[in-house]
Structure 1
Amino acid sequence: MSYSENYECDVCGDQKGEEGDWWLAWVDCFQGSKPEDNQPLIKLTRWEPHQARTDGVKHLCGARCAGMLLDRWMNEQHADPDAHCETK
């Protein structure tokens, strides 16, 4: 029996096929000089199957959806300018 992973774009819902220019994005933390200065940041990289399985990673089908995700994230940050990195 073979195992198949199916991914869909977290912005538009398109299904990932063999073709296409897919990307991965996730939120990380920019370390300030003290913990209260830590700031959330967003990272973006080209598709890599192993990283695509990581918790919290967003799957993006192209530049348009990557831009939309960034726009949404920036609006969230603007709405809460005192937001700091989440601690686990």
Structure 2
Amino acid sequence: MSFTESYTCDICGDKKGTSGQWFLAWQDCLPLVRTEGTQPLIKLTRWEQEHAHEESVIHLCGNRCAGTLMERWMTEQHEQPTASCA
């Protein structure tokens, strides 16, 4: 028995095909060095099927959607400069 996996861009909703420059992203926490606490962090990497299954991964269909994610995240961080990880 076989099955087909499908992925959808979390920004624009496009379906992943066999071509394209897909990326993966995660939101994470960066420990502060001089004080206690954490700071939100975003990680971005090229598509890797093994990591695409992770629950917290953000699927991105290309440069434009990766840029949109970064812009949204940066705006959120600017609006909440003292935000820490939950």
Moved >2 Å (runs of 4+): 33-36
Q: Provide the C-alpha distance between the structure 1 equivalents of 2:27 and 2:51, rounded to a whole number of angstroms.
A: 14
2:5 aligned partner, one-letter code: E
SS class of match (2:66): helix
Q: Provide the C-alpha distance between the structure 1 equivalents of 2:7 and 2:19, rounded to a whole number of angstroms.
A: 13
Q: What are the equivalent positions in structure 2 for 1:23-38 lying under 5 Å apart?
A: 23-33=23-33, 34-36=35-37, 38=38
| TM-score computed with the length of structure 1 as normaliser | 0.90
SS class of match (1:76): helix
Figure out how many residues of one structure are paired with residues of the other and give that number.
Answer: 85
Q: Flag structure 1 segments of 5+ consecutive residues without an equivalent.
A: none
Q: Flag structure 2 segments of 5+ consecutive residues without an equivalent.
A: none
2:58 aligned partner, one-letter code: K
Q: Does 2:85 align with 1:85? A: yes
Identity fraction in percent: 56
Give the aligned partner of residue 2 of structure 1: 2
Tell me by how many angstroms 1:4 deviates: 1.2
Tell me by how many angstroms 1:9 deviates: 0.5
| TM-score computed with the length of structure 2 as normaliser | 0.92
Q: Provide the C-alpha distance between the structure 2 equivalents of 1:85 and 1:53, rounded to a whole number of angstroms.
A: 23
Give the aligned partner of residue 54 of structure 1: 54
Q: Provide the C-alpha distance between the structure 2 equivalents of 1:31 and 1:4, rounded to a whole number of angstroms.
A: 39
Q: Provide the C-alpha distance between the structure 1 equivalents of 2:55 and 2:79, rounded to a whole number of angstroms.
A: 25
